[in-house]
Chains A and B, each alone.
Chain A
């Protein structure tokens, strides 16, 4: 039995300290998902908090068919998407094509990418944050949350083949963009 399941059982028996442990264990991950979708720290934090409240209320319905984290991230991802749609903040981004990640004009480099001592991880995080909500979430779930393609499909509601294709395409676009924008500086780093 995983530690999560033990904590959940304790919460269901009325142990609220166990729920605090669950919150503290997953708060960064849930916040990262909502932030990837909503792109605004305040709104993302508000939604992430509401996610935990929803989870507390729905904990009795969790049937352990999937990992607790998968169940939790599904709620977080869908809550964030709902909020984005409700506030119509990212309507354009949600429907936009992938042109933002295509090769840019060589003269129109992003300032962040011109930093000679740039941190590759930071640049990648920045690039992911500029992706469409669903794309940024897929990359985040795959790498940060170490979710399998099948689990990501469950969380996002997309097909497995769709997730695989997106993962290949998005990472390739990231590589092209990094190599293109950073040119020799990035080549030194990588």
Chain B
């Protein structure tokens, strides 16, 4: 009996050989119960084909994208300073250093030579060019300020865009 019932599904799936089909058809003609079972099975098969998907929540795709920070960064964040601008900034700082050093190369003065003493001892060289500590301090502050500004600005930009992105989606 069970084998007959499984044959019903093989018949529906078109998996019976010609010989098996003929035998099954003969049995159908004489077995009204099997005939009814085949009809029921076809209806079940039809109903299963009309089955619908389960729907996730409305936030599904948004949640996926929130879990993908790399996507978000690439799509949403255009940094205030492009890599080109950052390179130019670094070059500018370098130029600023050279320009700031220029006067001390040509102008004599009463300079604090502690800075050069340090490098002379470290490199075992004998620099004779004194640099005023005010210049060194000014350059350090300018460089540090520039780098800090770039970092803070990028972070602020990211946060603003992330907030806007979340509210839009």
Contacts and interface: CB of A to CB of B under 8 A. Distances in A.
A28 B44 contact: no
B104 interface: no
A83 interface: no
Given A124-B44, A168-B9, A171-B9, A49 B52 contact: no
A120 interface: yes
Nearest to B76: A16
A75 to B, nearest CB: 14
Given A171-B9, A171-B45, A171-B48, A28 B68 contact: no
Interface string B4-33: 011011100101000000000000000000
B71 to A, nearest CB: 5
A94 interface: no
Interface in A125-163: 125, 128, 139-140, 143-144
Contacts of B160: none
Nearest to B45: A171
A31 B60 contact: yes
A167 B9 contact: yes
A56 interface: yes
Interface stretch (B35-43, B79-87, B90-98): B35-43
Q: Is the interface of A mostly helix, strand, loop or mixed?
A: helix
A76 interface: no
B47 A124 contact: yes
A19 interface: yes
Interface residues of A, number: 42
Contact of B64 (A49, A143, A189): A49
B47 A175 contact: no
A3 interface: no
A168 B15 CA distance: 11
Contact of B60 (A17, A19, A49, A53): A49
A28 B54 CA distance: 6
A179 interface: yes
A27 B60 contact: yes
B37 to A, nearest CB: 7
A52 B13 CA distance: 33
B61 interface: yes
B44 A45 contact: no
Given A23-B61, A32-B53, A167-B9, A53 B67 contact: yes
Given A31-B55, A32-B54, A164-B13, 20 more contacts: A17-B75, A20-B65, A23-B61, A27-B64, A28-B56, A31-B53, A31-B60, A49-B60, A49-B67, A50-B67, A56-B71, A120-B47, A144-B51, A167-B9, A167-B13, A168-B6, A169-B6, A171-B41, A171-B45, A190-B44
15 contacts: A19-B71, A28-B54, A32-B53, A48-B56, A48-B60, A49-B63, A49-B67, A53-B67, A124-B48, A164-B15, A167-B9, A167-B13, A168-B6, A175-B44, A189-B43
